[in-house]
Amino acid sequence: MTIEFMNFPFDFNSRRSAVMGTRGMVATSQPLAVAAGLEILAGGGNAADAAVAAAAALNVTEPTSTGIGGDCFALFFDSKTNQISALNGSGRAPAGLTLQRVGEEGFTRELPPLHPFTITVPGACAGWCDLVERHGRLEMSVVLEPAVRLAEQGFPVSPITAYFWDRGVKRQLSQALGGEELTIAGRAPRAGEIFRNPGLARTLRIVAEGGKTAFYHGEIAEAVAAAVQAAGGILTVDDMAYHQSTWEQPFSVDYRGFRVWECPPNGQGLAALLALNILEGFEVENGDPFTVHWLHLEIEALRLAFADARWYVTDPEFSPIPLDALLSKGYANQRRRLINHQRATLDRLWGTPENFSDTVYLTVIDGEGNACSFINSNYMGFGTGIVPSGYGFTLQNRGHNFDLQPDHPNVLAPGKRPYHTIIPSMVTREKDGSLYASYGVMGGYMQPQGHVQVISALVDGGLDPQAALERPRFCIADGQAGGDVLLEEGFPETTLRRLVKLGHPLKVVSGIERSIFGRGQIILRDAESRVLFAGSDPRADGCAMCL
């Protein structure tokens, strides 16, 4: 007998304490993915192994947000050296996808969100394998086993995932080639209903046995190319074979004695660092980062940051980015002077520094203090919704983020990586380089905004990870410098009135639509006691757990 729940309240009014432990911690948006990560830690794996195990399990349990048909980014902290490495696991545009080609189809402003032209080579699989190869300890066959088991045996679908699965069926899967593979007789699984995905289990077993080569060459690559071309796209098996991840130098800024790290572009972590650099020049009144005045400053700093990020963030292989100049304290001073403490400014433009310049997030810290901040995404839920026949995963639509204006740094080009919204983050102590936090906030253009608000809550407000995640958030709509400010239900009425008086166009968001404010995970590490303190966002189905 199946228990059918008619209504799930999405009022997000429960309270949680931070989770504490010493032997290892995993925080994700799905408890079964947390369990997968803990299983790997208990079996001798480290933070890299557990992160990939959790990411693969999330592909099974939350395909509404993530999967092997999408992209990933990761930061890894090595506790022996205090060094952080950045993995870019994002894919590139097909070799045949040119401005001329998309123009022939009538696309001159942007690519339609679900068009097969938006499918870039899925980079997640190579990212998983490369992270484990460089920093992990276990074989991929061991790391992927919990996810394979979940896909084969099935799992009960959680409430928020069921809600977005239903939306995804109506928007993408019902009309996308092969989309029915991720449905039950054409509908979404209900909350508490068991869903099995034998096609995805097959894919994961092939990767477990053959590594990334088995994904980018051979039957899976052929199936991906065939599905894209049958839907009207132009990605080929050669595009798949050409793909590789890149290891890059992470970049950072100092914020009040804490160094905040992000992956460099083509990701939008630049926006978070620009905003923090601006905010560091302002004092927090009475140590309270939740006043109307501080909210105003955060919003204005992020407007300036997005104005720059939406212009400068691109694939640096195609267009150089003046990162050192953009992140200099001098440029922060220059941009900070543009903020009016008494009035919102909506017409922000990108600046020129001197000398020129739908998603799952998870985090793991193991018992030795190694940490992995990891993010994986299809984009826009199920991505395009297109499923390579028999393989159980959807293909992303990251190419939607390319610009089609020829003079824009992020303009579409063959073999190019697009502006990417997904960004993991880490924080180290400036005094000794020790790990302070591994954290992230998923959710499109909300991500750098979430990074800024969470760091301020931790550093300026002194909150623990769970309390920091439970604070109401704001979101500048679509990451546009002049966008409306979406405010989460829970801010006092007096705050709303004062922000309107300052000139901010506001919209209050409640219920399930609060997902726009992202879903974060945080693990802090005390340098002396080595105690881990974790929080998991109440806007998701997940949790944090320790060994």
Cα(520)–Cα(361) distance, integer angstroms: 7
CA 23 to chain centre: 26
Note the pLDDT of residue 355. Answer: 39
Residue at token pair 């699965």: 165
Measured CA distances, 501 to 221, 244, 403, 422, 475 (Å): 55, 50, 35, 33, 18
**Residues shown for the chain:** 547
End-to-end CA distance of the chain: 34
CA dihedral 361, 198, 5, 534 (to 10 degrees): -20
Cα(161)–Cα(67) distance, integer angstroms: 14
Q: Are 375 and 440 in contact (CB under 8 A)?
A: yes
Coil/strand/helix, residue 233: coil
Q: Are 391 and 203 in contact (CB under 8 A)?
A: yes
Kindly state the DSSP code that residue 161 receives in the 8-state scheme.
H
User: Which residue type, as a one-letter code, is found at position 109?
Assistant: R
Note the pLDDT of residue 31. Answer: 96
For the chain, counts of helices (H) and of strands (E)? 17, 19
**Number of other residues whose CB lies within 10 A of the CB of residue 361:** 36
Cα(393)–Cα(374) distance, integer angstroms: 20
Burial class (CB in 10 A: 0-12, 13-18, 19+), 242: middle
pLDDT in tens, 520-538: 999 999 999 999 999 999 9
pLDDT in tens, 287-297: 788 899 999 99
Radius of gyration for the chain, computed over Cα atoms and rounded to the nearest angstrom: 22
Note the pLDDT of residue 285. Answer: 83
Q: Are 523 and 502 in contact (CB under 8 A)?
A: no
Residue at token pair 């796209």: 233
**What DSSP assignment string belongs to 487-509?**
EEBTB-HHHHHHHHHTT--EEEE
Coil/strand/helix, residue 391: coil
Q: Are 382 and 182 in contact (CB under 8 A)?
A: yes
Residues with catalytic annotation? 359
Q: What number does CATH give the domain 248-359+421-520?
A: 1.10.246.130
Q: What share of the chain is helix, strand, coil (3-state, %, to 5)?
A: 40, 20, 45
Note the pLDDT of residue 351. Answer: 62
At 277, list the tokens.
């650099």
Cα(527)–Cα(525) distance, integer angstroms: 6
Nearest of 378, 384, 376 to residue 173 by alpha carbon: 384
Beta strand extents in 392-514 (DSSP E only): 425-429, 435-442, 474-476, 485-488, 506-509
Measured CA distances, 291 to 232, 282, 286, 301, 547 (Å): 51, 13, 10, 15, 38
Note the pLDDT of residue 7. Answer: 52
User: Which residue type, as a one-letter code, is found at position 282?
Assistant: F
Can you give the residue ranges of every domain in the chain? 19-246+360-387, 248-359+421-520
Nearest of 172, 147, 31 to residue 542 by alpha carbon: 31
Note the pLDDT of residue 144. Answer: 98
DSSP run (H or E) holding 334: helix 329-336
Q: HEC profile for 415-484?
A: CCCCCECCCCEEEEECCCCCEEEEEEEECCCHHHHHHHHHHHHHHHCCCCHHHHHHCCCEEEHHHCCCCC
Nearest of 164, 89, 170, 172 to residue 126 by alpha carbon: 89
Phi, psi values for residue 301, rounded to 5°: -65, -40
User: Which residue type, as a one-letter code, is found at position 515?
Assistant: S
Name every residue whose Cβ is closer than 8 Å to that of residue 147 and which is 6 or more positions away in sequence: 36, 53, 56, 57, 59, 60, 204
pTM assigned to the model: 0.95
- β-strand pairing of 71-78 with 371-377: antiparallel
Residue at token pair 């999330």: 58
Q: Are 521 and 363 in contact (CB under 8 A)?
A: yes
Burial class (CB in 10 A: 0-12, 13-18, 19+), 141: middle
At 477, list the tokens.
């709509």
Which parts of the chain sit beneath pLDDT 70? 1-14, 349-358
Coil/strand/helix, residue 262: strand
